């Protein structure tokens, strides 16, 4: 029996009635390969088997599939072609459709979720180009990458793995990072499943606000910081000026045989004899650390 005739007769016998149609599938292997397609998109491929006189039936999933398919998800059946359409329809129903119908729905759901993630990536990337001056979208393959054309090599990337986003920002200021975080929150709180994600983000944001407030309260009373700089193999001691004499900060680089202070006038080894205003010359602990780090890095 010709494959097309057998497939057409088989389609007419599959339930529900009139839901399946048979069409040639020449792109797969000539006029002897036929698809039996359901109105919901499911397809069964019918083709001659390697064994002479046998027919082979297999399931077809959307390509690409973002649901991880195993061999058990792709059942097949094979029988002598001369057994006819009734036997083939029975074999397809019993051996293929139960697994296939359930898995096909999971594949569609996974593909829809992946498409939503891609749309989120694109929306977020477009927002980043507005937030980072001079930025542009440079790729959208396995990840979206936004690059900055200005003097600083600011970059941002959004990667998807296991349904999770990993957002990486490099060489951007705190204001830009905060704006990017807000844009990302806006992006992922749209689409299906938005409400749970939004609630989780709000809880995380509240926790971060609490931790930030606690850190600021602690920092307001801190009089000394010890900072390790492993990238340049150095350690700093940053001290606040006694409150009765001012509000400046000093910074000392520790070393063998004692330390040395970095001041607006350069390195000072005998800094114990410096006037207070010359030693505590930096407006904040962060400024003192940055200035000393840059000074040390210049001599590497």
Q: What is the pLDDT along the chain (300 residues), one digit of tens a residue?
A: 589 999 999 999 998 888 999 999 877 766 789 999 999 999 999 999 999 999 999 999 999 998 999 999 999 999 999 999 999 999 999 999 999 999 999 999 999 988 887 787 777 777 777 777 666 776 655 555 666 555 455 566 655 444 456 667 666 667 777 777 777 777 666 655 556 666 776 777 788 888 888 888 888 888 898 888 877 778 899 999 988 888 899 999 987 556 789 999 998 887 777 888 889 999 998 899 889 988 888 765
53: left (phi over 0), alpha (psi -120 to 50) or beta: left
Model pLDDT, residue 277 = 87
**What distance in Å separates the CA atoms of residue 172 and residue 169, rounded to the nearest whole number?**
7
Whether residues 235 and 281 share a domain: the answer is: yes
Which domain CATH number covers 133? 3.30.310
**Residue appearing with tokens 């700089």:** 229
Model pLDDT, residue 115 = 86
Q: How many CB atoms lie within 10 A of CB 117?
A: 18
**For residue 252, which of 221, 298, 291 has the smallest C-alpha distance?**
291
Q: What is the pTM of this model?
A: 0.54
**Which of 83, 110, 137 is a domain's end point?**
110
Model pLDDT, residue 13 = 95
Whether residues 228 and 247 share a domain: the answer is: yes
* Residue 65 main-chain phi, psi, to 5 deg: -105, 130
Model pLDDT, residue 158 = 59
Model pLDDT, residue 130 = 77
Model pLDDT, residue 162 = 46
Coil, helix or strand at residue 118: helix
Whether residues 15 and 99 share a domain: the answer is: yes
Whether residues 54 and 88 share a domain: the answer is: yes
Whether residues 131 and 214 share a domain: the answer is: no
Whether residues 198 and 293 share a domain: the answer is: no
**What distance in Å separates the CA atoms of residue 238 and residue 223, rounded to the nearest whole number?**
8
Residue 104 exposed, middle or buried by CB count within 10 Å (0-12, 13-18, 19+): buried
- Which residue range forms the structural domain that includes residue 256? 224-297
Model pLDDT, residue 71 = 92
Model pLDDT, residue 104 = 97
The number of folded domains in the chain is 4
**What distance in Å separates the CA atoms of residue 29 and residue 20, rounded to the nearest whole number?**
21
């Amino acid at each position: 029996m010709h494959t097309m005739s057998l497939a057409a007769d088989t389609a007419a016998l599959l339930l529900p009635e009139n839901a399946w149609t048979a069409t040639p599938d020449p792109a797969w292997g000539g006029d002897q390969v036929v698809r039996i397609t359901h109105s919901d998109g499911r397809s069964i491929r019918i083709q001659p088997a390697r064994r002479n006189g046998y027919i082979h039936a297999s399931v077809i999933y959307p390509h690409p599939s973002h649901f991880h398919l195993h061999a058990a998800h792709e059942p097949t059946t094979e029988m002598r072609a001369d057994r006819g359409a009734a036997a083939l329809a029975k074999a397809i129903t019993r051996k293929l459709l139960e697994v296939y119908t359930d898995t096909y729905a999971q594949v569609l759901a996974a593909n829809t979720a992946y498409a939503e993630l891609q749309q989120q990536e694109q929306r977020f990337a477009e927002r980043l180009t507005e937030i980072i001056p001079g930025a542009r979208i440079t790729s959208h393959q396995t990840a979206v990458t936004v690059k900055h054309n200005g003097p600083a090599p600011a970059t941002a990337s959004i990667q998807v793995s296991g349904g999770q986003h990993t957002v990486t920002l490099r060489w951007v200021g705190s204001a830009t990072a905060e704006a990017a975080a807000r844009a990302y929150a806006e992006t992922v709180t749209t689409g299906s499943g938005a409400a749970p994600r939004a609630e989780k983000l709000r809880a995380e944001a509240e926790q971060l606000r609490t931790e930030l407030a606690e850190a600021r309260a602690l920092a307001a009373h801190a009089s000394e910081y010890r900072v390790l700089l492993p990238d340049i193999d150095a350690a700093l001691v940053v001290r606040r000026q006694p409150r009765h004499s001012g509000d400046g900060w000093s910074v000392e680089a520790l070393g063998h045989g004692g330390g040395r202070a970095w001041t607006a006038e350069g390195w000072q080894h005998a800094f114990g004899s410096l006037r207070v205003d010359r030693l505590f010359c930096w407006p904040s602990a962060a400024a003192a650390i940055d200035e000393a780090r840059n000074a040390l890095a210049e001599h590497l």
